[in-house]
């Protein structure tokens, strides 16, 4: 028992998380293979963010010029940072362009928000061990990602946080606090302590909605993950946890933050979330628009040479899309634009592609974008909504039909699931590899590109590689 409290029993959820992280053995080969692709995809997203000055100005040590013994590397940079700062750096890069993986549930989240904290802590621990012990392997990193994904996703299945004004990155903090405590050598008791501490600061979600949409959504999860690493470091040093952080009848989280509702989970912890995670492949845009973008890209050759002939654009979608990304009127910044269904579709129709640069002010100044937006109507298709909310399907249907002034039209083009859906892995995985290859070509010399790809595409070799083997080959 950590000093500071008598033997008060921990809340059941904290015990279940600690038992899972400390003792559950991941046996699913599918989960480990998907986790490798998830990390590959996360690195591709991180490298993509290096093009954005709004992201890169947030990177580096807290104090300019500071160096750290046994620090953690930040991919695509020369930085070697303390694990808290590295977790923020990597997390912000992975999440910045809204191109990383997604889990759709009662509370939609982005599970690879955990990658920064896990990679940073594993790298730090490995470098600290160099003199007197074996560094961690990438198998350990992938196992930690599987478990962190599972905690976020299973809690998200049982609990929507938005109705309480709480940002989903609270789930990132909980998961990262638990798994990084384990990576740091913490015991089951330490894991419960760190996880309890993660509930104390529940972040607002106001930056994701309406006129308040702003760039914080690019680094909110990174802040949560880096805070989780700090809490893990404190816990393994003996900082006590708070056993009734959830259930205290007057001051507990459930009473004060959730109007007395229980903090639910949506099933047992295993490896289901990693196995079924949804990748973003069509373009950097919120998950509910992914299949819409596929439709728009297919229609683009029929439209972009005859824009003046377009009479109307009919968008068909499900209820969740209408609630989150159906936007009309002015869009104030890139963060506002990448959460607008109509904007993303207009750009995809016009240009036959969608990139992070398309949300910047220079791109948004193209008057044709707003002209196309004005022609759009968004309608809920009840069939789509039914399929979206069916847990056995986890579908994300969208459709587009374009009518021309001469009375002709394209007919309805629809996709039930986006390219990154688990039902389309055979199509999606090659695109993830292409996604990484394109970023490597931009930032690394040919020999280093080959070195990274050869390691990333060999499952056995990747699992056996040490963490510094991996992070060193990504340094610039």
pTM of the shown model: 0.94
Residue 74 maps to a domain: yes
Q: What is the pLDDT of residues 412-441, one digit of tens each?
A: 999 999 999 999 999 999 999 999 999 999
Q: What is the extent of the structural domain holding 312?
A: 287-418
My answer on whether 294 and 271 are in the same domain is: no
> Distance between CA atoms of 110 and 97, rounded to whole angstroms?
12
Residue 466 maps to a domain: no
**DSSP-assigned beta bridge partners for residue 310:** 404
**DSSP-assigned beta bridge partners for residue 256:** none
My answer on whether 291 and 269 are in the same domain is: no
Q: Are the beta carbons of 233 and 84 closer than 8 angstroms?
A: yes
Predicted local confidence at residue 317, as pLDDT: 96
My answer on whether 210 and 183 are in the same domain is: yes
> Distance between CA atoms of 377 and 373, rounded to whole angstroms?
9
My answer on whether 38 and 180 are in the same domain is: yes
Residue 31 maps to a domain: yes
My answer on whether 165 and 308 are in the same domain is: no
My answer on whether 225 and 199 are in the same domain is: yes
> Distance between CA atoms of 421 and 328, rounded to whole angstroms?
28
Predicted local confidence at residue 6, as pLDDT: 60
Predicted local confidence at residue 126, as pLDDT: 96
Q: Are the beta carbons of 421 and 330 closer than 8 angstroms?
A: no
Q: Render the burial of 232-241: b for 16+ CB within 10 Å, e for the rest.
A: bbbbbeebbb
The residue ranges of the chain whose pLDDT is under 70 are 1-6, 131-132
The CATH number for 185's domain is 1.10.4100.10
Which of 418, 436, 457 represents a domain boundary (last residue)?
418
My answer on whether 242 and 317 are in the same domain is: no
Q: Tell me how far apart the 2 most distant CA atoms of the chain are, in Å.
A: 79
DSSP 266: -
Predicted local confidence at residue 209, as pLDDT: 79
My answer on whether 40 and 111 are in the same domain is: yes
> Distance between CA atoms of 430 and 230, rounded to whole angstroms?
37
My answer on whether 80 and 198 are in the same domain is: yes
> Distance between CA atoms of 224 and 176, rounded to whole angstroms?
9
Residue 175 maps to a domain: yes
My answer on whether 120 and 68 are in the same domain is: yes
**DSSP-assigned beta bridge partners for residue 398:** 415
Q: Which two tokens stand for residue 286?
A: 């919120």
Predicted local confidence at residue 349, as pLDDT: 97
Name the nearest CA neighbour of 21 among 245, 200, 176, 208.
176
Which of 276, 298, 322 represents a domain boundary (last residue)?
276
Which of 391, 418, 445 represents a domain boundary (last residue)?
418
Q: Are the beta carbons of 153 and 104 closer than 8 angstroms?
A: no
Q: What is the pLDDT of residues 350-370, one digit of tens each?
A: 999 999 999 999 999 999 999
My answer on whether 240 and 336 are in the same domain is: no
DSSP 418: -
CB atoms within 10 A of CB 353: 13
DSSP string across 176-188: HHHHHHHHTT--H
My answer on whether 59 and 183 are in the same domain is: yes
Number of domains in the chain: 2
CB atoms within 10 A of CB 215: 17
Residue 105 maps to a domain: yes
Residue 439 maps to a domain: no
> Distance between CA atoms of 107 and 315, rounded to whole angstroms?
24
Residue 394 maps to a domain: yes
Q: Which long-range contacts (CB under 8 A, 24 or more apart) does 366-372 make?
A: 368/307, 369/343, 370/346, 371/307, 372/307, 372/310, 372/313, 372/342, 372/345, 372/346
Q: Are the beta carbons of 326 and 341 closer than 8 angstroms?
A: yes
Give the number of residues written for the chain: 476
Predicted local confidence at residue 41, as pLDDT: 97
The CATH number for 310's domain is 3.30.1330.120
Residue 476 maps to a domain: no
């Amino acid at each position: 028992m950590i000093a500071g409290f008598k033997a008060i029993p921990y809340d059941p959820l904290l015990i279940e998380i600690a038992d899972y992280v400390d003792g559950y053995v991941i046996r699913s080969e599918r989960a480990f293979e998907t986790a490798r692709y998830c990390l590959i995809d996360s690195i591709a997203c991180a490298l993509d963010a290096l093009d954005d000055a709004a992201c890169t100005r947030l990177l580096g040590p807290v104090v300019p010029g500071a160096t750290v013994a046994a620090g953690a590397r930040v991919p695509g940079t020369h930085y070697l940072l303390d694990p808290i700062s590295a977790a923020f750096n990597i997390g912000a890069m992975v999440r910045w362009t809204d191109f990383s993986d997604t889990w759709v549930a009662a509370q939609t989240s982005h599970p690879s928000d955990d990658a920064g904290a896990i990679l940073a802590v594993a790298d730090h621990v490995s470098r600290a061990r160099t003199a007197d012990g074996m560094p961690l392997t990438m198998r350990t990193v992938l196992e930690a990602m599987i478990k962190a994904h599972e905690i976020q996703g299973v809690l998200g299945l049982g609990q929507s946080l938005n109705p309480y004004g709480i940002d989903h990155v609270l789930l990132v903090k909980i998961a990262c606090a638990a798994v990084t405590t384990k990576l740091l050598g913490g015991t089951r008791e330490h894991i419960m302590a760190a996880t309890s501490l993660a509930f104390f600061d529940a972040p607002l979600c106001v930056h994701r909605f309406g006129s308040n949409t702003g760039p914080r959504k690019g680094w909110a999860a990174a802040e949560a993950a880096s805070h989780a690493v700090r809490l893990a470091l404190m816990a393994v040093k003996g900082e006590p946890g708070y056993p009734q952080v959830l259930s205290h009848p007057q001051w507990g989280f459930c009473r004060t933050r959730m109007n007395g509702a229980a903090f639910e989970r949506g099933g047992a912890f295993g490896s289901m979330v990693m196995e079924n995670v949804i990748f973003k492949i069509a373009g950097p845009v919120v998950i509910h628009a992914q299949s819409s973008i596929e439709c728009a890209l297919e229609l683009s050759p029929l439209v972009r040479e005859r824009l003046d002939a377009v009479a109307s654009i009919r968008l068909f979608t499900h209820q969740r899309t209408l609630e989150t990304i159906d936007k009309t009127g002015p869009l104030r910044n890139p963060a506002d634009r990448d959460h607008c269904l109509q904007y993303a579709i207009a750009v995809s129709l016009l240009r036959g592609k969608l990139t992070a640069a398309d949300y910047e002010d220079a791109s948004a100044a193209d008057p044709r974008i707003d002209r196309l937006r004005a022609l759009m109507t968004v309608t809920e298709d009840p069939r789509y909504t039914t399929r979206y909310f069916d847990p056995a399907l986890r579908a994300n249907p969208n459709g587009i039909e374009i009518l021309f002034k001469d009375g002709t039209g394209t007919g309805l083009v629809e996709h039930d699931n986006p390219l990154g859906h688990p039902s389309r892995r055979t199509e999606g995985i090659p695109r993830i590899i292409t996604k990484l290859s394109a970023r490597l070509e931009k930032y690394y010399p040919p020999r280093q590109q080959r070195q990274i790809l050869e390691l990333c595409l060999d499952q056995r070799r990747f699992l056996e590689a040490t963490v510094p083997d991996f992070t060193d080959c990504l340094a610039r």
